[in-house]
Amino acid sequence: MPPTKRQGCSIIFINDYNKILLFLRDDKPSIPFPNMWDLPGGHVEENETAEGCIVREMKEELDLDIKGFCLFSVNEFPDRIEHTFWQRMNLELDKITLHEGQDLKWFTEDEIKNTELAMGFNQILRDFFTKAPF
């Protein structure tokens, strides 16, 4: 039996201007997709749910306590199964303590279309804007 794929989780924060929050990954050659824009999230740990993972990751990465988010999609990639959540949230970026990555920025749909994102998130965000759950 083939090994099970690792599980990942991510979250789409969308503000009242329909902009999406992305973070700039660290510029370290030792990590996948260095210096690329990405959705916040991480790896689901053993005995952890995807929902529990996104809560933990947002606390670790952005020092945010989140609740009230919704599942948008579950996608299979060659390297993982990605659980993507979404939540409408108007975050003041200058008040967020970033513990991972270099920067945070709100992106419009057009800016996202013209930016290669890490981890295959361009397709997920195209689907998000097409299906417009917000």
Distance CA 4, CA 131 (A): 29
- The per-residue pLDDT for range 9-21, each reduced to its tens digit, is 999 999 999 999 9
Closest CA to 72 of 98, 51, 55, 90: 51
- The per-residue pLDDT for range 37-90, each reduced to its tens digit, is 999 999 999 999 999 999 999 999 999 999 999 999 999 999 999 999 999 999
User: Which pTM was predicted?
Assistant: 0.94
Closest CA to 62 of 19, 18, 13, 109: 13
- What's residue 31's pLDDT? 92
- What's residue 133's pLDDT? 77
**What architecture is the 6-131 domain classified under in CATH?**
Alpha-Beta Complex (3.90)
Distance CA 8, CA 42 (A): 6
- The per-residue pLDDT for range 116-134, each reduced to its tens digit, is 999 999 999 999 999 987 7
